[in-house]
Chain A
Amino acid sequence: MAETISNGEFSPWAHPKSQAWFEMVFERSGLIEMLAAAVDSPHDPLTLPQQRLVASLCMILGRPGIWPSNQNATFQKIVIGLLRNRRLGTGDVSRPVTMAEHRKRLAFNENYEIELESLRRRIGLSKKVNRLQQPRAWERFWY
């Protein structure tokens, strides 16, 4: 017990045994490799909603203590892949859209950009310093 709380950190990923557990789970599941391959696949590119889901997973799991420290380079690779795909427009379907679809697409883009900015900061690609809040689109995340 004393060992658990002695370092002044209380999050569930603060303890070395918790971190070892996360590392084991990521390694044995192969999740990180799967995400990296999915983002980088030229033959079977992810759709925009799939990319955004990967981005949200990176926002939740991509933090020191949860994401294994020996996989930080892969985290960076995944984020850069998402940013590149966004720039290239991978997953976009070119066809006429209705006004409702257009509005939805605008809202999607606006929210995805907020999420990508969060990821840019994690890997030091953004110079913005304002404090980030929970993405509005994520509604009531904790409950």
Chain B
Amino acid sequence: METQSLVPWKDSTASEWLGKQEAWQRLLQYVCATLESDPRKYPNQIRAAASLVIMLGREGFWSIAHGQRDREHLASLAKRQLAQIKQMYSIESRGNPTLLGDPAYKKFMQTLDEEMRLLEARMNGEEINLADEAPSSWGDFWNVTFQKAQS
């Protein structure tokens, strides 16, 4: 049996296998391309792409040319784009007191902050003193059923 890490994506043979798959490379390319797009036109798509950086932007999953340096660049790009989206919505809310007072709006802005904080932690690559949890709006991340969602 080969040497096995207990973290599934830290097993070198498995990670190399995934990195060589063209489909996987294409998916990562789409994420990168989306992150380069205009946040005023594609805020939802950029946020979706940033979520994949949060979930998959780690050694073993994301095999890119210059390793950690490129992953940090990607996290930095995703964070900047989320910041642009947040600013865009902040400006929009200034002329809309109803929206500004809407709890859903506040929750949404809080979610963006949490996502940016996760990306920032990834950029630093350091242990930081934060709870190891998904952003609060991402639901019960580990308890998912397809059947419930389809009904």
Contact = CB atoms under 8 A, between A and B. Distances in A.
Interface of A: 1-2, 4-6, 8-13, 15, 17-18, 21-22, 24-26, 28-31, 33-34, 38, 46-50, 52-53, 55-57, 59-64, 67, 69, 72, 75, 92-93, 97, 101, 104-105, 107-108, 111, 115, 118, 121-124, 131-134, 137-143
Contact of A47 (B14, B45, B93, B145): B14
Contacts of A34: 21-24
A17 B41 CA distance: 11
Interface of A is mostly: helix
Given A122-B144, A142-B133, A143-B122, A47 B13 contact: yes
15 contacts: A1-B99, A5-B107, A9-B137, A10-B104, A11-B137, A21-B48, A29-B23, A47-B13, A72-B150, A75-B146, A93-B2, A118-B142, A137-B7, A140-B132, A143-B118
Interface string B114-151: 01001001100001101011110111111111110110
Chain B at the A interface: SS class: helix
Nearest to A112: B8
Nearest to A21: B45
Nearest to A53: B14
Contact of A2 (B45, B55, B99): B99
B1 A30 contact: no
Identify the interface centre among B15, B50, B144: most chain A CB within 10 Å of its CB.
B144
A64 B145 CA distance: 8
A28 B30 contact: yes
Contacts of A133: 142
Given A5-B104, A56-B9, A64-B149, A25 B27 contact: yes
B23 A139 contact: no
Given A5-B102, A11-B51, A107-B6, 5 more contacts: A1-B99, A10-B107, A47-B14, A50-B14, A121-B143
Contacts of A8: 104
B137 A143 contact: no
B111 interface: yes
Given A31-B24, A34-B23, A69-B150, A53 B4 contact: no
